[in-house]
A and B are shown apart, each in its own frame.
Chain A
Amino acid sequence: MASREGEYISDSGSDYTEYWIDWFLGSRGNEYFCDVDAEYITDRFNLTGLNQYVDRIGLLVDIITDRTQISETQPEEARARLEDNAKFIYALIHARYIITSRGLSKMLEKYRNGDFGYCPRVNCKLTPLLPVGLSDKPRVASVKLYCPNCEDLYNPKSSRHASIDGAFFGTSFPAMFLQNYPELVPTHNVDVYIPKIFGFQLHSQAQLTRWRLLKREQLVNRLDQLHIEHANDGPGGFADPVDDDENKKAKRGRR
């Protein structure tokens, strides 16, 4: 309900002048970004160190917060450069903002809407993904998506997202997000796939999978010894394996 009100306000605002941030968030390919509070952007403390990446950071902040417009009198080239720099600095501020508590709650909404997509792994059963960077320095690696269920990294499905810099989300975001909302840590699905020919498992793949399941058992035993909760219905626990030959065998062996 709150979000709808927000939309309404921004819609009515855009009748007169479109806010820079709204324009940025509305442009194609920027679906992963959330809106950063103007107060956060204007606080110089939050911009510490960012001036090493761009010149005239004050002007850029003014552009982002709509205090100045990019003047029409400048040559096309200079305007384009200013525009790009403004986007760049906004994205870097974004990386810092989304690990604050306000930023996390905004990203929570996006996570719930599935704005970052869903895990393509069949056994993850469409767990929503979280954006993550491989480096906090810009221009190192593009954004990747982290699945909290299989704890693995995936490439974005669409090429327009694959070109976003990973530093615009940072390396710490998913960890911070899941530490802040521990109830969102999924119950891990433990089902595995083993290729078969006419019903017979391929040996090398099956052997590796058996060893991996052994590793999981060892982990569970370690957690048990420390009396750490890993219930099959709680966050961070392991779901009961569904209809899996290897898991069934393992269970039978234990009995």
Chain B
Amino acid sequence: MSSFNEVESDSSEDVDSWISLFCSMFGHDYFVEVAPEFIEDDFNLTGLSLIVPFFRDALDVILDLEPEIPIKPANVPLVEHAAELLYGLIHARYILTKPGLRAMAEKYEDNCFGSCPRYYCQGMHLLPIGRYDQPGIETVRLYCPNCNDIYLPSSSRYLNIDGAFFGTSFAGMFMKLFPEIQRQCYERTKKQFELKLFGFKLNERAPGGPRMKWLRQYPQAKEEIEEYKKCEFSIVGTNEKIVEAGGQEEGEEEEEEEEEEARMDEDSHEEAKASAGESMMSIAKD
């Protein structure tokens, strides 16, 4: 048995390990190879045994270890699937560590995750993220540090990769560790697209007029920068008065409605008609 194990370990040096096989599979080019030492440390696997079925067996598969008790043939596909899930979840933790982030940086440099499809992002490289840390909710999405938005992968081959295999924190960690990315963003254009008809801009009052300018806007004018500074901890704007006034109006309307309802309840149909007439008149005056 021991000799068998030795043969196993020898061959695993020549033949690719499960991890490198998994990472070289078609459509798995977003994944980096997790260092076996990271997986062997039980601390890094805290809590995963609750999420992943066949946890021990799956772990053995990932580390290319022979299981003590052979896996039942019927369970082999299940264990293989569990191994992929476990590897993905370990991967999400690993890419938040320094070696993991560095490995991902190499992939980022090589543009493995693709470029931002937005025209004015000028080919900014993307970062894979998940919107949820729990597996099985959503597939992987790509974050553009320049436009601060998320996109679908351009190829459908990535649409079966779980977002939880990259996690919600990766993009943020990555940008904090590599401030170079922020510099790349500063260098890019702040220009926005404006739809034009025969060279004329559309007014925002028009039914099909521009309504989403804010989505890509940057503070540029003096007062905009002022507003931006005020937004440090919450949305504070010059529009507070307007909002308050709106609130009061709403209150008044409600009172009026209540009055009308009361009248309707108390009085006969004729008066109801009269009040309807009144309201019509008031609309006409308006």
Nearest residue (CB) in B for A218 is B239
- Segment from A22-30, A37-45, A207-215 that makes contact with B: A207-215
Q: Are the CB atoms of A175 and B228 closer together than 8 Å?
A: no
Q: How far is the CA of A205 from the CA of B42 in the complex (A)?
A: 35
Q: Are the CB atoms of A151 and B212 closer together than 8 Å?
A: yes
- Segment from A12-20, A90-98, A189-197 that makes contact with B: A189-197
- Segment from B9-17, B19-27, B66-74, B202-210 that makes contact with A: B202-210
| One of A146, A209, A222 near B195 (C-beta < 8 A) | A146
Q: Are the CB atoms of A214 and B237 closer together than 8 Å?
A: yes
Q: Is B53 an interface residue (CB 8 A)?
A: no
What residues on A are CB-neighbors of B134 within 8 Å? none
Q: Is B1 an interface residue (CB 8 A)?
A: no
What residues on A are CB-neighbors of B218 within 8 Å? 208
B66 to chain A, nearest CB (A): 37
Q: Are the CB atoms of B208 and A185 closer together than 8 Å?
A: yes
Q: Is A238 an interface residue (CB 8 A)?
A: yes
| One of A144, A172, A193, A210 near B119 (C-beta < 8 A) | A144
What residues on A are CB-neighbors of B243 within 8 Å? 217, 221, 254
Q: Is B184 an interface residue (CB 8 A)?
A: no
What residues on B are CB-neighbors of A120 within 8 Å? 117, 151-152, 154
What residues on B are CB-neighbors of A154 within 8 Å? 117-119
Q: Is B109 an interface residue (CB 8 A)?
A: no
What residues on B are CB-neighbors of A123 within 8 Å? 149-150
Q: Are the CB atoms of B217 and A222 closer together than 8 Å?
A: no
Q: Is A241 an interface residue (CB 8 A)?
A: no
What residues on A are CB-neighbors of B175 within 8 Å? 195, 202
Q: Are the CB atoms of A178 and B168 closer together than 8 Å?
A: no
B204 to chain A, nearest CB (A): 7
Q: Given A174-B195, A197-B176, A221–B234 Cβ distance below 8 Å? A: no
Q: How far is the CA of A19 from the CA of B168 in the complex (A)?
A: 54
Q: How far is the CA of A123 from the CA of B148 in the complex (A)?
A: 12
Q: How far is the CA of A254 from the CA of B244 in the complex (A)?
A: 8
Nearest residue (CB) in B for A182 is B207
Q: Are the CB atoms of A155 and B119 closer together than 8 Å?
A: yes
| One of B169, B195, B227 near A196 (C-beta < 8 A) | B169
Tell me the A160-216 residues at the B interface (CB within 8 Å): 171-172, 174-176, 178-179, 182, 185, 188, 192-199, 202, 205, 207-216
What residues on B are CB-neighbors of A229 within 8 Å? 207
What residues on A are CB-neighbors of B217 within 8 Å? 212, 215
Q: Are the CB atoms of B237 and A152 closer together than 8 Å?
A: no
| One of A122, A194, A226, A249 near B152 (C-beta < 8 A) | A122
What residues on A are CB-neighbors of B210 within 8 Å? 151
Q: Is B36 an interface residue (CB 8 A)?
A: no
What residues on B are CB-neighbors of A221 within 8 Å? 239, 242-243, 246
Q: Is A57 an interface residue (CB 8 A)?
A: no
| One of B119, B197, B232, B237 near A218 (C-beta < 8 A) | B237
Q: Are the CB atoms of B207 and A157 closer together than 8 Å?
A: no
What residues on B are CB-neighbors of A216 within 8 Å? 214
Nearest residue (CB) in A for B153 is A120
Q: Given A151-B193, A188-B212, A211-B219, A122–B150 Cβ distance below 8 Å? A: yes
Q: How far is the CA of A124 from the CA of B186 in the complex (A)?
A: 25
Q: How far is the CA of A224 from the CA of B193 in the complex (A)?
A: 25
Q: Are the CB atoms of B207 and A236 closer together than 8 Å?
A: yes
What residues on A are CB-neighbors of B131 within 8 Å? 193
The contact string, 1 if C-beta is below 8 Å from chain B, for chain A 123-140, is 100000000000000000
B233 to chain A, nearest CB (A): 8
Q: Are the CB atoms of B143 and A195 closer together than 8 Å?
A: yes
Q: Are the CB atoms of A179 and B197 closer together than 8 Å?
A: yes
Q: Are the CB atoms of B235 and A250 closer together than 8 Å?
A: yes
4 closest A-B pairs by CB:
A215-B214, A175-B197, A197-B172, A153-B119
Instruction: Please give the residue numbers on chain B whose beta carbons come within 8 Å of chain A beta carbons, in ascending order.
Output: 117-120, 129, 131, 141, 143, 148-152, 154, 168-169, 171-173, 175-176, 192-193, 195-199, 202, 204-219, 224, 227-228, 231-232, 234-239, 242-243, 246
Identify 14 new A-B residue pairs, CB closer than 8 A, beyond the known A152-B119, A178-B208: A122-B141, A146-B193, A151-B193, A152-B215, A155-B119, A157-B117, A171-B199, A172-B199, A197-B176, A211-B224, A214-B231, A221-B239, A225-B242, A229-B207
Instruction: Please give the residue numbers on chain A whose beta carbons come within 8 Å of chain B beta carbons, in ascending order.
Output: 120-123, 144, 146, 149-155, 157, 171-172, 174-176, 178-179, 182, 185, 188, 192-199, 202, 205, 207-219, 221-226, 228-230, 235-236, 238, 249-250, 253-254
Can you give 14 contacting A-B residue pairs, CB < 8 Å?
A: A121-B151, A151-B210, A152-B120, A152-B212, A154-B118, A172-B197, A195-B175, A208-B218, A211-B219, A211-B228, A214-B237, A215-B213, A215-B214, A219-B214
